[in-house]
Structure 1
Amino acid sequence: MNNHYFKNIDNFFVAGINYKKSDASVRGQFAIGNEQYAAILAAAAAEGIGELFVLSTCNRTEIYGIAHCPHQLVRLLCAQTAGDAETFVRSAYIKQGADAVEHVYHVASGLDSQILGDYEIVGQLKTAVRFAKEGGAIGAFTERLINSVLQASKNVKNNTELSGGTVSTAFAAVQYIRAHVPGCCGKKILLVGTGKIGRNTCKNLVDYLGTTNITLINRSPEKAQELASELGLHWAPVAALESELRAADVVIVATNAQQKTILRQHLEGAGEKLIIDLSIPYNVADDAQTLPNVRMVNVDELSKLKDETFRMRQAEVPKAKAIIAEGMQEFEEWCDMRRHVPLLKDLKAKLRTLREHPECPHMREQHAKLLDVEIQRVLNETAGRIKERNERGCQYISALHQFISVPN
């Protein structure tokens, strides 16, 4: 599996599920943490799959890699998740070769984000690839691909308005509150979870609602206390969760807990609540979501918000795709030349043999250095003709003839 011809663009696959065909309850079954990721990398190495990485976020779980077939990757992923392969495949998309490569570019450039132009995925992609690299699962192909993808993403961000305006999952939550909660500035808001999404949401609440009537709760109380101190807010320990839930008008949940955080008994008879669950998997119990005093909103519903920002971003999509096409072309040219590396190495060895052949009188030892230069020239010209005409065998023969015909 480690030969050169196996590691090419035709054997590159992505298998994944995302917000387009699966809701958060399904995606949550296939979310992975670091321990599961490490186990996937170990199992892949045991199967001889040397290049792969897994991207797992609230909106998607995708496994990318070089394999003989995509089902190898699906089995590796699903062996470490709560969901099974059959469930995964029902909602999955599987792409191969240039289609899989294009998908990575679209993901990193915000074209495939649940909220168009949201670049939060770039940091998540970098983290996913770094983890795989530390596990020995990133080779020359994937390294080159990701570098090209990140450069294209940067060009899209700098040269288009695809990310213009201020729209993200965190900001969409604030938009929803502003649109659906009368007098929202005076309402008591509880934010549960102060990780990256929680922090971003909290800052947006302060900046765009102009309120500090916000209480923070986090499993690690130091983080909640630190953020509260930074923004002039309140914080409470986890032990006070139920009382704070009952007191709040608006509850935003942004935790990474595998078990439900908000339970029915926390909310039953506690007055009208708007609860926005940004967690994957959902952290509000199913029976709590159906209480008559609870209005539930999740990340899938937030993505449906439409406004001028989205329409402006949509108009920028053709520009972004043009930038991606340039990046893909360069990457595919690099891949194409990689296919010819064994031929060029073989040609170089053959030319060196011919240099020493007694029937080639012009190839004398005193000309060794000059002949090395000539060999390199022939190799460079041959590589150029292969690239231009895509005729490997013919160019090999032509190069040999060219070299032997060098005058004394």
Structure 2
Amino acid sequence: MQRYLSETKSIFFSIGISHWKTPIDVREKFNFSESAIDAILKETKTLGVESLFVVSTCNRAQFFAHTHNAFILKELYIKHSRASEKEFEKYHFQLSGDDAVLHLFELCCGLDSLMLGDLQIVSQIKDAVKYASNKEMLDGYTHRLMQFVMQAYKDVRTDTAINEGPASVAHGAVLFIKQRYKSLKDKKIVLFGTGEIGETTAKNLLKHAHKEMVLINRTRSKAEAIANSLGLRVANIEDLEKELTNTDILIVATGAMEPTVYTKHFKGVENNMLLLDLSVPRNIEPGIEKLNGVELIDMDQLNNIQDETLAMRRKNIPKARTIINLHKNEFFDWVLMRDLSPVIQALHEKLHRYRTDEIEQQKFRLSDEEIKKANKLTTSVVNKIANQATEYIKSKYRHSEEVVKMMEEMFKLKQ
């Protein structure tokens, strides 16, 4: 017998860890490399997961999946991370159904970012979705969900001030430095790593007078391109130890999977130095903070930075939530119609079959003109009944799927 709504209907899940609950020394163990993500997608495909994309950033490592088996997700998550099952059980969270959908909306609209309103996560999620799509691991449900999510993101960005003013990791780093020092005029700054965060940090620091700023990158040409546009000096990665001998502030944002700055680089350092590690996994070797005169600040400590920009952004949270709820409900209406479409179509077909069968039985009594009029009249009546029944099913289905079973039994739709 046919069932129009599957008994094992897939559900949208989100499972992972984030900066809200997981400290950085644990969080870095859950950071997934591109090769790990590729392996995860290949394996989930063979296990029958309909849709999955993986978001792995400095502040979170999450699976977003549309499946009927969340247990598979847990197994794969633990298998491909560098953390233990005990750590996973202690720090992970899992959301399903409406809660997982709402979380994705809030994440893309900046409400769940380390820095409120930081919309860098949007490009990271878009890249993750595109990667999954290229690997044929994105189904129609997730594709449509992302369309609604991106429209919400655009409306929040346009109609609220939640992302106005600087409030990113780079902004937090510069703000911390400004709060630590009255002036930077006599400070030498070395910035190791010229990716998006490093480049933004350099540009923000240029707004404040400083003694000197030096850029270092594993790929020198990339550092040179930025240095030429900003009027800064570039040093080779081999000269890091030499540069640090008279440095006051070291900012590291190399984005590597392992440390790139080690204790050995501080052999000739005698002055006090502030170190900011803007990477997850951490790129400054643990233990360096024990050196005399060295203060190490990581991403979690930057989360405590408060300023007027963030205070202003918080005032926009209610309006952003209103916009999110609007698009979220529109998505749920789409899901509702998608789920109900088979049973509604079957109901319409069954009612019209009753109509045509009855007219067929009476044809010998009617003229061609009378048959034409009867078809027109009965079609109108049946459509009104069917439409009213459809609205009833939609309204009741929001609260209980039993209405579908009732309609199937009443009109024998399963036969």
Fold shared, TM-score > 0.5 on shorter chain: yes
Give per-residue Cα distances to partners, 1:40-88, cap 9 Å, x unaligned: 1111111100111111110011111123343321212222221233312
- Segments of 5+ residues of structure 2 without an aligned counterpart are 398-402
- Cα deviations by residue, 1:126-175 (Å, 9 ceiling, x for unpaired): 11111111111111111111111121122222222222321111011111
Report SS of the residue matched to 1:286: coil
Moved more, 224-233 or 78-87: 78-87
Q: Is the contact between residue 13 and residue 97 of structure 2 (CA under 8 Å) also seen in structure 1? A: yes
Counterpart code for 2:173? A
Cα distance in 1, alignment partners of residues 391 and 318 from structure 2 = 32
Matched, 1:145 2:157: no
Rounded to whole Å, the distance in 2 between the matches of 1:262 and 1:281 is 13
Q: CA RMSD in A?
A: 2.9
The CA distance in 2 between the partners of 1:370 and 1:200, in whole Å, is 68
Distance 1:13 1:51 in 2: 10
Q: Report the CA distance shift for 1:138/1:379 in structure 2 as closer, same or farther (over 3 A).
A: farther
1:386 to 386, 390, 393: 393
Change (3 A) 1:74 1:185: farther
Structure-1 separation of matches of 2:192 and 2:384: 65
**Correspondence for 1:258:** 257
Aligned residues: 396
Q: TM-score, length-normalised on structure 1? A: 0.88
2:27 matches 1:15? no
Alpha carbons 1:251, 1:275 under 8 Å: kept = yes
User: Is the contact between residue 13 and residue 95 of structure 2 (CA under 8 Å) also seen in structure 1?
Assistant: yes
1:5 aligned residue: 6
The 1:258–1:393 alpha-carbon spacing in structure 2 relative to 1, beyond 3 Å, is: closer
Equivalent residues of 1:245, 1:267 under 8 A apart: yes
Identity of paired residues, percent?
Answer: 33
Could you tell me how far apart the structure 2 residues matched to 1:382 and 1:396 are?
12
**Superposed displacement of residue 383, structure 1:** 3.5
Give the deviation of 1:394 after TM superposition: 5.5
Alignment of 1:70-81 (within 5 A): 70-81=70-81
| Deviation for aligned residue 1:264 | 0.8
Structure 1 unaligned spans of 5+: 402-408
Structure 2 matches for 1:116-127, cutoff 5 A?
A: 116-127=116-127
Deviations 1:321-366 (A, max 9, x none): 1211112211112222222122134335546755774863478999
1:155 maps to 2:155: yes
Relative distance call for 1:5 and 1:202 in structure 2 (3 A) is farther
Q: Aligned pair 1:84/2:84, yes or no?
A: yes
Cα distance in 1 for partners of 2:344, 2:387 equals: 9
State TM-score, norm by structure 2. Answer: 0.86
Deviation of the 1:179 alpha carbon: 1.5
> 2:16 corresponds to which letter in structure 1?
G
The alpha-carbon distance between structure 1 residues 75 and 276, as it changes in their structure 2 partners (threshold 3 A), is: same
Q: Do 1:385 and 1:395's aligned partners in 2 also have CA atoms closer than 8 Å?
A: no
Q: Structure 1 residues 241-250 or 109-118, which shifts more?
A: 241-250
User: Taking structure 1 as reference, are residues 366 and 399 closer, same or farther at Cα in structure 2, changes over 3 Å only?
Assistant: farther
Give the alignment of 1:117-196 within 5 angstroms.
117-196=117-196
